[in-house]
């Protein structure tokens, strides 16, 4: 006889075929059939949002598929079932066998760290996968396009151009393409690079007269992913180099994926010939995920920490951090860390007191305000921060100011350098990295940053 679990597996198998993979994983992956009798079937689901989504959107499909599998029920109920703890994200990334791997073991065939293959997978972070990306309105189309590209690089949307605001998953999706391609073929040459890094390598290549190596490296890619292309706008030489790289790859049917904060037509100093290349393929406008999706993201991430977030807390967070998923994750992590240290369960009171100060922040602060505030905090004249002096008690404030311009205003490195009167943007890169590192180790730096921020947003 067919067991309940066999039945549900059969139903899931069929539903999987009729939905996008992302939707299937988000809404159906962690469901079980809890109970079945003549009148009704009870499906266990991990959280309230999945429950609501299944009730509202997928109920008919589920009933219909059950019927096709010989089970005619009057009613399906969805019940939150907390034992459904999914594998943690990190573990999942390690345990999940890669699609192309022929081995029956759970250990995926890691790309061998030899010669080119190794060099070519630089820049990819295995944390970013399709499976841990929550699909919803705003990112559905980008998700589908990225999956199509990952399945057959170079054949469909080429180039694939993703654009949209900060922290909405562009990098995550592009990296997921790279990781999926490599999982299918460990020899694939996948190159992920931010356009700032491209710029810097190009400059170094010119300086050290290695430009042919540079060109060969990028033109040898099977999949080239260039993140945040807006940063090379206005840089003639590097745009030209990129243009040639683009043409060489495109002609050879190699996949190119590009992201930006705006559509190509709105990047004012993007060279016309590059702009026209970008419209050859497919451009996708990524939007901030809607409320439901933000709730699902929170629930999933909390679940990965072994915590079920109360509905009011989830909704509170999703309502208060609307545009940036990175900030949404940050708010959640802050809450979970706070509660863990004090052995408390997350509740609305804690969430609102933690988020309260952040919430009243005005939208617009200027670069000038940041630099002024930093100078004042360290009690040095603003001219010193902007000037040439290299004493330690001036260099550190200057580095903190650069860090804040990046973290608060997301300015590009060249822009940050200019704001502080420097010519070389690599100084900005190094300074920001240094402060990032130090703020993890050094409580003084951390408290300086917090106190400057508090005053800025007060
Ligand atoms: P962008 O490149 O658009 O600025 P990222 O790809 O860096 O944004 O995303 C910011 C953070 O939010 C990352 O940690 C990413 O994993 C997470 N994130 C964004 N969208 C989703 C999503 N739909 N599901 C899960 N995590 C997401
Ligand atoms: Mg990004």
Q: What tens digit of pLDDT does each residue of 298-343 get?
A: 999 999 889 999 999 999 999 888 889 999 998 999 899 899 888 9
**In the chain, count of helices (H) and strands (E)?**
22, 8
| CATH code of domain 367-456 | 1.10.1750.10
How far is ligand 1, taken at its centre, from the CA of residue 104, in Å?
Answer: 32
Overall CATH class of domain 291-360: mainly alpha
Distance from the Cα of residue 70 to its chain's centroid? 42
pLDDT (0 to 100) of residue 363 = 53
* Integer Cα distance of 416 and 398 in angstroms: 11
325: which 2 tokens? 């998923």
* Most ligand 1 atoms within 8 A of CB, residue of 133, 193, 325, 333 to mutate: 325
Taking the CA of residue 227 as reference, the ligand 1 atom at the shortest distance is 2
Q: What angle do CA 83, 85, 89 make, to 5 degrees?
A: 180
Residues of the chain with pLDDT under 70: 1-2, 82-122, 357-363
Superfamily of structural domain 140-285: P-loop containing nucleotide triphosphate hydrolases (3.40.50.300)
* Integer Cα distance of 20 and 184 in angstroms: 19
Picking from 16, 412, 62, 402, the residue whose alpha carbon sits closest to that of residue 229 is 412
Taking the CA of residue 300 as reference, the ligand 1 atom at the shortest distance is 25
Question: Which residue, judged by its Cα, is nearest atom 20 of ligand 1?
Answer: 169
Q: What is the pTM of this model?
A: 0.60
Picking from 289, 334, 292, the residue whose alpha carbon sits closest to that of residue 314 is 292
Check pocket membership of 133 for ligand 1, CB cut-off 6 A: yes
* Integer Cα distance of 26 and 385 in angstroms: 49
Question: Hey, where are the domains in the chain?
Answer: 4-84, 140-285, 291-360, 367-456
Rg of the chain on CA atoms, in Å: 25
- For residue range 338-395, what is the model confidence (pLDDT) as tens digits? 998 889 999 999 998 888 755 545 557 789 999 999 999 999 999 999 999 999 999 9
Check pocket membership of 134 for ligand 1, CB cut-off 6 A: yes
How far is ligand 2, taken at its centre, from the CA of residue 218, in Å?
Answer: 20
pLDDT (0 to 100) of residue 113 = 35
Q: Three-class SS of residue 258?
A: strand
Beta bridge partners of residue 162, listed in sequence order: 259, 284
Question: Which residue, judged by its Cα, is nearest atom 13 of ligand 1?
Answer: 326
How far is ligand 1, taken at its centre, from the CA of residue 170, in Å?
Answer: 7
Give 231's DSSP letter: G
303: which 2 tokens? 């679940």
Burial of 306 (0-12, 13-18, 19+ CB in 10 A): exposed
pLDDT (0 to 100) of residue 174 = 97
pLDDT (0 to 100) of residue 86 = 40
Give 305's DSSP letter: T
| CATH code of domain 4-84 | 3.30.300.180
CB 5 within 8 A of CB 35: no
Distance from the Cα of residue 142 to its chain's centroid? 12
């Amino acid at each position: 006889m067919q067991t309940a679990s066999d039945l549900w597996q059969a139903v899931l198998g069929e539903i999987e075929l009729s939905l996008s993979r992302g939707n299937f994983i988000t809404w159906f992956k962690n469901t079980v059939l809890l109970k079945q009798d003549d009148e009704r079937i009870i499906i266990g689901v991990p959280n309230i949002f999945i429950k609501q989504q299944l009730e509202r959107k997928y109920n008919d499909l589920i009933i219909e598929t059950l019927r096709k599998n010989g089970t005619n029920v009057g009613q399906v109920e969805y019940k939150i079932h907390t034992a459904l703890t999914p594998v943690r994200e990190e573990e999942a990334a390690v345990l999940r066998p890669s699609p192309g791997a022929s081995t029956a073991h759970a250990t995926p065939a890691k790309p061998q760290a030899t010669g080119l293959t190794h060099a070519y997978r630089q820049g990819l972070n295995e944390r970013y996968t399709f499976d841990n990306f929550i699909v919803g309105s705003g990112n559905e189309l980008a998700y589908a396009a990225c999956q199509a590209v990952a399945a057959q690089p170079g054949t469909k949307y080429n180039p694939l151009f993703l654009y949209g605001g900060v922290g909405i998953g562009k990098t995550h999706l592009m990296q997921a393409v790279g990781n999926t391609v490599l999982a299918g073929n460990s020899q694939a040459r996948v190159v992920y690079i931010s356009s700032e890094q491209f710029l810097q390598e190009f400059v170094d290549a010119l300086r050290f007269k290695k430009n042919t190596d540079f060109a060969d490296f990028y033109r040898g890619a099977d999949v080239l992913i260039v993140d945040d292309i807006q940063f090379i706008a206005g840089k003639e030489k590097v745009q030209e180099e990129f243009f040639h790289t683009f043409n060489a790859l495109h002609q050879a049917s190699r996949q190119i994926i590009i992201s930006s904060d705006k559509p190509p037509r709105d990047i004012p100093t993007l060279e016309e010939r590059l702009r026209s290349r970008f419209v050859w393929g497919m451009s996708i406008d990524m939007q901030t995920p809607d409320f439901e999706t933000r709730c699902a993201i929170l629930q999933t991430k909390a679940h990965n920490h072994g915590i079920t977030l109360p509905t009011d807390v989830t909704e509170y967070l999703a309502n208060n951090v609307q545009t940036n998923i990175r900030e949404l994750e940050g708010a959640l992590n802050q809450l979970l860390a706070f509660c863990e240290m004090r052995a408390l369960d997350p509740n609305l009171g804690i969430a609102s007191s933690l988020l309260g100060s952040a919430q009243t922040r005005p939208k617009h602060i200027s670069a000038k305000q940041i630099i002024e505030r930093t100078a004042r905090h360290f009690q040095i004249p603003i001219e010193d921060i902007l000037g040439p002096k290299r004493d330690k008690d001036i260099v550190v404030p200057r580095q903190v100011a650069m860090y804040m311009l990046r973290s608060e205003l997301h300015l590009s490195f060249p822009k940050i350098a200019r704001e502080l009167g420097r010519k070389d943007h690599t100084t900005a890169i190094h300074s920001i990295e240094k402060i990032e590192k130090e703020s993890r180790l050094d409580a003084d730096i951390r408290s300086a940053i917090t106190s400057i921020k508090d005053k800025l947003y007060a």
